[in-house]
Amino acid sequence: MIIHELIAKGKTFSHAQYQRKIQAFIPEKKLFQLGAQKIGTFIQEDSYYRAGPGCAIEGTIRLRKDMEDKCTFTYKSKSPRLASSPKMVIDKNVSDKQIKRIEQECQRIIKINKKRIAFMLNTIRINLDQVEGLGYYVELETHKKSDLSKINFIMGSLGLSKMRTTTSSYLELAMKNLSPLKKLSNQIHEKFGRLVFGISSATLTTLGILVGLDAATSSEIAVIGGIASVAVADSLSDSLSMYASKKSERGSSQKNAIKSAFATFLGKFIFSLTFMIPILLFSLKKAVFIDLLWGLILLVLVNIQIAYFKEENITKEVMLNLLIAAVVIILSSLTGRLIAILIGTA
């Protein structure tokens, strides 16, 4: 099996890892005050796997993708019971072919995304992690047991209590905290997360065009033409903007930029066209009312899912986006009526 092969090849380069992890938020300036050197900021996508039948492996299997779409295979031995005991770690860069074999032979348990700001203080690596679904963590690690006293000193300097440390991995922490509803939310976000921007943009833009054209012309053909324009021209415009935005991000790869652009186009194109269905089936006035209801439902569902996934205040996020939608609808309607008056008096 591919896992056995990777572990066998990586044993020569394996290393011990002594680690302290504590749930806390520490400002970067505190580390600079201690004399730490900033390594960089990283966006990491960690996929954890369970070895398939017949693969007797105890430990954590992980594939990590970074902003440059490089992928690293990591195997860590089981979390030690004692904080002074190390984990044995194997890290190895893997090819697309090896990734496919891992995905075929192993079952993915969960995917965890995080933003990591990494520092070095002498021989101690300090990671400030913002982990989706878990919150903020400070992670201190070293390869030498003799450095544990340095870690304890740094923790004291940062005001971190040794009593609250854990040797658990993010996988273990996530599985402890993951309710069935949260698992479902993660799966939905994993499948449709890239479409969120396109759906939100499609809803707000199409509602504005729909209400504005109806108020200005009361023409079914004009409204259909406006929606079609949003579905094609505006979707392409937003996808190109997304591509340029992602490409400008430090460390972002062209592949990731293309994926984001395509998801934006797909989300906006498909969901813009859904607003055309009521217009083809009902009278214009009735169709506008149905589309308004459909648009608000979409915004509510999208923002509930995002807020729940990011553990933000659901009511606050939903109400804020509904307020924005109301402003867009009202201003578009007033603009349409003003145009109708000006044209009528011209």
Per-residue pLDDT at 346: 43
Give me the residue label for tokens 């394996």: 14
Q: What is the pLDDT of residues 213-244, one digit of tens each?
A: 999 998 899 999 999 988 898 888 888 888 88
Residue-wise pLDDT for 72-121, tens only, equals 888 877 666 555 566 778 888 888 888 888 887 777 778 888 999 999 99
Length of the chain in terms of residues written: 346
Least Cα distance to 88 among 189, 10, 193, 161 occurs for 10
Does an H or E element contain 124, and which? strand 124-131
How far is residue 128's CA from residue 139's CA, in Å, rounded to a whole number?
7
Mean pLDDT of 158-177: 82
pTM higher than 0.75: no
Amino acid at position 33, single letter: Q
Mean pLDDT score across all residues of the chain? 82
Which residue in 176, 196, 201 sits closest to 272, CA to CA? Answer: 201
Domains, the chain? 2-170 (2.40.320.10), 190-345 (no CATH)
The reported pLDDT for the residue numbered 138 is: 95
What's the DSSP call for residue 238?
H
Residue with tokens 């195997």: 75
pLDDT of residue 13 exceeding 90: no
Report, as an integer, the average pLDDT of 307-313.
68
In the block, residue with structure tokens 């890892």: 17
Torsion angles phi and psi, residue 114, rounded to 5: -150, 155
DSSP three-state, residue 194: helix
Question: pLDDT exceeding 90 applies to what percent of the chain?
Answer: 30
